[in-house]
Chains A and B, each alone.
Chain A
């Protein structure tokens, strides 16, 4: 690559190369790609001078050539958790759909009629524009597969729906799966999205659009195990009147991990819980940006993020809650607490409230601390060795957030991954 080319320009070129590859073999997704490419024309790509991308460089993506081609189709590995309602993507392509509960359906892009496709394109473009999530546009332009998951009105899903995204093989390349999830009026469901380890040089760039109709209640648990590759995931959610969404994230670091969680309160009486835990080590990177828009009155947002950052890893939390002029009687709270366990690790935290209504209750805060020596000593005076104390104290810092996750295989997996992390990092105590 020419050294004078800016990374974002190189990235654009890579996307064009990839786009031309897709255009050579037109298929059902072509109209989605076309619309995405069009939106991309006047879309700024990530670069360090954009506030939202200040701490995360896309240079490694460019350097690895990850965007120039799709990941090859590959065989699935055994699912990480066995679920009654299961969807498995492998390298961005749909590999398995098994649904046992009624009231739940999945259709691929090819199975949607023109009208449905147009409506979905329109809806997601609106979300992408307001969401400042440029890689979601890239996902659309290069979509590997797009599916629509529908929960019928009043459906109460008996078992969680587990969506697993696998990356197989060791070739570099990228996958861009896209999911629309629509919960009808009064529907209730627990959804889990599980990501996987990837080879270095692989980019997994996924987007999930969530639409809750009035009175729907959905929990959405996100599990991202450690990865050597690049993982970008975006959630764009919209809440209609009196609906409730819980997005619970368990994250670790990757060569580059970026989460964009964008939620819009679009109907009165909506409730949002947007909690997360991140555990990073070695030289891995984790960057989360949450943007919550309160556009109507009487909605609530609760956001708690706890992170443990060690070795030479880096974690970035950027949370924004935007309260628009009409959103009176909003209650919103956002907290980010970090435990920095190494001098070489770095945390950047920036919770922001933008308030344009006067009758609201809002608070936010952020802390970065270390393990308390006095607490460690207290444990030791009770006969507990330093390693165990270290492990118990770091577990205590995040476990209460994980314990609040809905009771799905996601919570068990998060607990298991967290325990392993605490065990490994306490070896250095």
Chain B
């Protein structure tokens, strides 16, 4: 459903993705690991269409359509979802208002009826419970003053409400306590289905104990340099990245 072929992209004249290929079929869970600065978040932002990222080569199709040709909102409406590594705080816009506008934009695009305030409230409360966020988080400004872990759970709440078909999770496990990690993983697993694809970006094997991947990839210097099954994650956890002939990108850049 998501086919990335030889994707090249740069930010401010800096080549970050250098010919990346990755295919995700419905029902599959892919994990992407890799050193800091290797381009994992960049990949997710290029896929969701953030401004400032220039695609210089390759192509991406999503459910057969040219993804890179769509506006960011249309990508979301087509079913692409990114759980941000750093969720954005939006003071003054309530979580509830934000979520309802999002859900209704997507429903409208799909030709479904929009949800009224009461119906949406019921749905939102139910999903908030599922990620262990008290209902008053719905009234607060989007991510405003949320703790790191609360922000990540709020991302999962959005995912549950928007019901995307392809989910990109960028380090959703970082900053979570053990209980929250489990809650988040349960949220993701609840979404697992034969017609949905999942890509999790993580530094830790731990998350993959809960969200068991079909494939594990190593992203380094803007390319997938190695792919394997879930045992690859265990191997990386044990040995680091050195044996693959790569160093931490940032130290290398300095040296």
Partners in one complex: yes
Q: How far is the CA of A386 from the CA of B48 in the complex (A)?
A: 14
Q: Which residues of B contact A372 (CB under 8 A)?
A: 88
Contact B51–A383 (Cβ < 8 Å): no
Give residues 74-96 of B contacting A (CB, 8 Å): 75-77, 81-82, 84, 87-88, 90-93
B76: contacting residue among A380, A388, A400, CB under 8 A:
A380
Q: Which residues of B contact A373 (CB under 8 A)?
A: 51
In the complex, how many angstroms separate the beta carbon of B161 from the nearest chain A beta carbon?
9
Count contacts on A: residues with CB < 8 A to the other chain: 22
Q: How far is the CA of A92 from the CA of B48 in the complex (A)?
A: 58
Contact A392–B93 (Cβ < 8 Å): yes
Given contacts A385-B105, A388-B101, A392-B101, whether A378 and B92 have CB atoms under 8 Å apart is no
Q: Across the interface, name the chain A residue whose C-beta is closest to B79.
A: A383
Contact B51–A377 (Cβ < 8 Å): yes
A377: contacting residue among B50, B93, B97, B105, CB under 8 A:
B50
Contact B162–A382 (Cβ < 8 Å): yes
Chain A proximity mask over B149-183: 1 for CB below 8 Å, otherwise 0: 00000000010001000000000000000000000
In the complex, how many angstroms separate the beta carbon of A388 from the nearest chain B beta carbon?
7
Contact B92–A383 (Cβ < 8 Å): no
Contact B101–A381 (Cβ < 8 Å): no
Q: Which residues of B contact A385 (CB under 8 A)?
A: 71, 73, 105
Residue with the highest number of chain B CB atoms closer than 10 Å, among A383, A395, A396, A397: A383
Q: How far is the CA of A384 from the CA of B158 in the complex (A)?
A: 13
Q: How far is the CA of A372 from the CA of B87 in the complex (A)?
A: 14
Contact A378–B90 (Cβ < 8 Å): yes
Contact B109–A383 (Cβ < 8 Å): yes
Contact B92–A381 (Cβ < 8 Å): no
Contact B93–A378 (Cβ < 8 Å): no
Contact B90–A384 (Cβ < 8 Å): no
- A399 is an interface residue with CB less than 8 A from chain B: yes
Q: Which residues of B contact A400 (CB under 8 A)?
A: 92
Q: How far is the CA of A262 from the CA of B86 in the complex (A)?
A: 45
- B46 is an interface residue with CB less than 8 A from chain A: no
- A393 is an interface residue with CB less than 8 A from chain B: yes
Q: How far is the CA of A304 from the CA of B87 in the complex (A)?
A: 28
Q: Across the interface, name the chain A residue whose C-beta is closest to B158.
A: A382
In the complex, how many angstroms separate the beta carbon of A379 from the nearest chain B beta carbon?
8
Give residues 102-139 of A contacting B (CB, 8 Å): none
Given contacts A373-B51, A375-B88, A392-B101, whether A384 and B73 have CB atoms under 8 Å apart is yes
Contact B71–A380 (Cβ < 8 Å): yes
- A374 is an interface residue with CB less than 8 A from chain B: yes
- B72 is an interface residue with CB less than 8 A from chain A: yes
A378: contacting residue among B88, B97, B99, CB under 8 A:
B88
Q: Which residues of A contact B115 (CB under 8 A)?
A: none
Q: How far is the CA of A379 from the CA of B92 in the complex (A)?
A: 14
- B208 is an interface residue with CB less than 8 A from chain A: no
Contact A393–B105 (Cβ < 8 Å): no
Q: How far is the CA of A371 from the CA of B48 in the complex (A)?
A: 20
In the complex, how many angstroms separate the beta carbon of B152 from the nearest chain A beta carbon?
14
Q: Which residues of B contact A393 (CB under 8 A)?
A: 90, 92-93
Given contacts A383-B73, A397-B92, whether A378 and B84 have CB atoms under 8 Å apart is yes
Q: Which residues of A contact B97 (CB under 8 A)?
A: 392
Q: How far is the CA of A395 from the CA of B91 in the complex (A)?
A: 11
Q: Across the interface, name the chain B residue whose C-beta is closest to A388.
A: B101
Q: How far is the CA of A397 from the CA of B109 in the complex (A)?
A: 28
Q: How far is the CA of A395 from the CA of B94 in the complex (A)?
A: 12
Contact B91–A384 (Cβ < 8 Å): no
20 contacts between A and B (CB under 8 A): A378-B87, A380-B73, A381-B48, A381-B72, A381-B75, A381-B81, A382-B98, A383-B73, A383-B76, A383-B102, A383-B106, A383-B162, A384-B102, A385-B73, A386-B73, A392-B97, A392-B98, A393-B92, A396-B92, A396-B141
Given A378-B90, A386-B73, 10 extra CB contacts under 8 A: A377-B51, A380-B71, A381-B84, A383-B102, A383-B105, A388-B105, A392-B93, A392-B101, A396-B91, A399-B92
B residues adjacent to A (C-beta < 8 A): 48-51, 71-73, 75-77, 81-82, 84, 87-88, 90-93, 97-99, 101-102, 105-106, 109, 141, 158, 162
Going nearest first, the 10 A-B pairs with the smallest beta carbon separation are A396-B92, A380-B72, A382-B102, A383-B76, A378-B88, A383-B106, A383-B105, A396-B93, A380-B73, A383-B77
